[in-house]
Structure 1
Amino acid sequence: MESLNFVAVDLETATSNRNSICEIGIAVVKDSEIVESKSWFVKPEGNKYDNFNMFIHHITPEMTENASSFPAVWKEVEAYLTDGVVVAHNSSFDMYVLRETFLANNVEFPNFKHFCSYRIAKYILKGCNSYSLPNVCEALSIPFGTHHRAEGDAIGCANVFIKCLELAEVDSLEELQSRYGFTCGEFTINSFKPQLSVRTRYRGVLSS
């Protein structure tokens, strides 16, 4: 597939509340190659953390005490995502976290289409015991760093999406959707839609 351009995104949260982002990571892909990756700490409201979340990602209140709040960090992140294609591994988590965080912080929805590398891997790779990011990377012989840290997970997600599209031998993201019977998700200024099977009906959520 020529000219595969997208940004992989990973989010970590401080608590069970979706509006508690504590780290954002991205990996920028141009022509099927990762050309940039980075991450930002985000100070969640009250800098409060659940022990379970800290056990998962090892991010602590001390690490985000001096970080900016989500609206300030988002101004920098948004420039990478707007009007493009965004990929997340298990977008049913990351994209809904973004949606709830936008609403809670009165941040205008961005414009971008989004795909789920978790679901793409399930379409294309058969026989995996688990489609978690480390397992899929192992199945595809993709080097993988520390799980549940945002930049490393974004890089892993980007490599999984690139490799899965190579295996699918499709010429476009439109062909990918047609072959496997789904439509990508989308944020617009006025609404949010998750990635869906073509057999699924969904009532969009307005931003205001």
Structure 2
Amino acid sequence: MTRLSLRLRILLFFALLALGGILIVALALIVGYRHSIESGSGPGFMLSAIIAGFGLLGLATGIWFLFDENVAKPIEKLAATLRVRAHAGVPAELDKHAARYLGDLAPAADAVTTQLNEQTLDAAEMVALETEALSDEKTRLTALLSEIPLAIVLISPTHRIVLYDGQAASALAQIAPPRLNASIFDYFAKPNLIAAHDELVKTDREVAFEATCPNGEVSFAARLKPLGSARGYMMFIDEAHSHLSPEASRPLTYDFELLKPSGPSNLMKLAIDRVPFVVFDSETTGLLPHKDEVIQLGAVRVLRGMIVPGEKIDRLVDPGRPIPPASTKVHHITDAMVAGAPSFQPVATEFHHFARDAVIVAHNAPFDMAFLHRRAEEYDLDWQHPILDTVLLSAVLFGTTESHTLDALCARLGVTIPARLRHTALGDAQATAEVLCRMLPMLKSQGYTTLEKVIEQCQKHSRLLEDMN
């Protein structure tokens, strides 16, 4: 069969359907004729019709099954693999055995994508050279900023954080986890900052003021500085360096694209590659959200389809009770490791701030979110964020018949989870974030260009999560 052309095999499918139908009808008529000799023509022809009807139904079902297994499923799998190659940049190997009845389609697709990959590698070499040059520029910029004994934050015209250095990160962390694209008002009270900014705009000169956090517990002497013809403004936090040595590392975290207008403020209408995501995972004392407790929470942030370096949460949690040995065997977290760790409330509050104005993503999200919702009222936290589940994204892109475990998804998309990080909250969150980043261009290529469209497609496969949980 594999030596026959695709068109000839499809012809044989329908020839088999026609021949089988003729044989079934002939057999039914013979049986009906014999029955009519014994009991009259009426019952005989009725019996013929019943036999023919069920026979044709069985034949159509059998032919459909063969077509589905040997044509439809292989084409769907081939298309998914090609999307992985084309849009996720993963050199996934084509399953030529599964596509053995598709004629020359699989080898031809393999040849085309291999050629494109070679061209992409050539382009990647040029990009790597440019990236190296940009890296040198960043190193020089970091060295230059290190000479300034102040914490530095670059803020967009819409008052969102575009850049911060290591000292600024330490200052902001005294209030809440530092985040690119976060509103500066999440960290400092609006009245003082707006008054200083209005004066900055009016005079086009540096303005000193007291920057106080929203609850008034932390304050810094700060200055705003105009950027001339450039967009946005700089904020220098004078006292942030007091608890750091002058030689302290001052890595930069930035994305100058955030200076540009981001499009609709409604997350649901935002282009999928412009949506801010927070990807998280938790480890727990057991598998029952209504009575078990979180013992570890890890999270990373994704902006413009890329993981933001340095923006993460990795916290152990004291569950207030012993961790069952069966659970420790999975995640390797012991009672001694969580002794002295904070309770879940401050960790959940920190994560809530970390996920502000973002879409929350997890693998099998209902399980992890159940632990957050269970304590929401007690902790006065409102979890109204849009939720994306990588299980459902996998079903949208690869079909429901594929495996949708995190390990299977990582293997399919070329993501490696180091063994020591598997079943740790941050390790699994990092892997899930890498998977998400590789799926975003694939979703866009299929026409699911906004968060609203992606969620709509995910809802069609929600039964998968019901079965898992």
TM-score, normalised via structure 1 length: 0.79
Taking the aligned partners of 2:306 and 2:433, their CA distance within structure 1 comes to 9
1:99-153 alpha-carbon deviations (Å, 9 max, x no partner): 12335x4443333111111111122124875321122111111122322100111
Cα offset, 1:83, TM superposition: 3.1
* Secondary structure at the counterpart of residue 361 of structure 2: strand
Cα offset, 1:37, TM superposition: 2.7
User: Are 2:328 and 1:54 aligned?
Assistant: yes
Would you say the 8 A contact 2:352–2:381 is kept in 1? no
Task: Choose which of 330, 341, 360 in structure 2 pairs with 1:86.
Answer: 360
1:46-72 alpha-carbon deviations (Å, 9 max, x no partner): 2x1112211111111111001000112
1:136-182 alpha-carbon deviations (Å, 9 max, x no partner): 1111111223221001111111122222222122321112233x262
* Secondary structure at the counterpart of residue 375 of structure 2: helix
Q: Which residue of 2 aligns with 1:123?
A: 396
Change in 2 beyond 3 A, CA 1:128/1:66: farther
Would you say the 8 A contact 2:362–2:368 is kept in 1? yes
1:174-198 alpha-carbon deviations (Å, 9 max, x no partner): 12233x2628xxxxxxxxxxx957x
Larger Rg: 2
Task: Choose which of 75, 85, 89 in structure 1 pairs with 2:349.
Answer: 75
Change in 2 beyond 3 A, CA 1:142/1:128: farther
Task: Choose which of 7, 11, 15 in structure 1 pairs with 2:286.
Answer: 15
Taking the aligned partners of 2:275 and 2:357, their CA distance within structure 1 comes to 15
1:76-110 alpha-carbon deviations (Å, 9 max, x no partner): 2211113321000001211112212335x444333
Would you say the 8 A contact 1:71–1:107 is kept in 2? no
Amino acid at match of 2:281: D
Amino acid at match of 1:117: T
User: Are 2:419 and 1:141 aligned?
Assistant: no
Task: Choose which of 8, 25, 28 in structure 1 pairs with 2:298.
Answer: 25
User: Are 2:459 and 1:182 aligned?
Assistant: yes
Task: Choose which of 428, 431, 455 in structure 2 pairs with 1:153.
Answer: 428
Taking the aligned partners of 1:126 and 1:120, their CA distance within structure 2 comes to 10
Taking the aligned partners of 1:117 and 1:177, their CA distance within structure 2 comes to 11
Would you say the 8 A contact 1:12–1:149 is kept in 2? yes
Taking the aligned partners of 1:135 and 1:37, their CA distance within structure 2 comes to 25
* Secondary structure at the counterpart of residue 297 of structure 2: strand
Amino acid at match of 1:171: T
Alignment of 1:99-114 (within 5 A): 99-102=373-376, 105-114=378-387
Cα offset, 1:17, TM superposition: 4.2
Change in 2 beyond 3 A, CA 1:181/1:39: closer
Change in 2 beyond 3 A, CA 1:37/1:108: closer
* Secondary structure at the counterpart of residue 94 of structure 1: helix
Taking the aligned partners of 2:439 and 2:287, their CA distance within structure 1 comes to 31
Change in 2 beyond 3 A, CA 1:50/1:181: closer
Q: Give percent identity, aligned residues only.
A: 25
Amino acid at match of 1:86: I
Unmatched segments (≥5 aa) in structure 2 = 1-271
Change in 2 beyond 3 A, CA 1:128/1:147: farther
The root-mean-square deviation of aligned C-alpha atoms, in Å, is 2.4
Q: Which residue of 2 aligns with 1:172?
A: 450
Specify which structure has the bigger relative contact order, considering alpha-carbon pairs within 8 angstroms and separated by 6 or more residues. 1
TM-score, normalised via structure 2 length: 0.37
Taking the aligned partners of 1:172 and 1:181, their CA distance within structure 2 comes to 13
Amino acid at match of 2:273: E
Taking the aligned partners of 1:92 and 1:75, their CA distance within structure 2 comes to 19
Q: How many residue pairs are counted as aligned between the two chains?
A: 184
Whose strand fraction is larger, Structure 1's or Structure 2's?
1
Taking the aligned partners of 1:196 and 1:166, their CA distance within structure 2 comes to 22
Taking the aligned partners of 2:400 and 2:391, their CA distance within structure 1 comes to 14
* Secondary structure at the counterpart of residue 45 of structure 1: coil
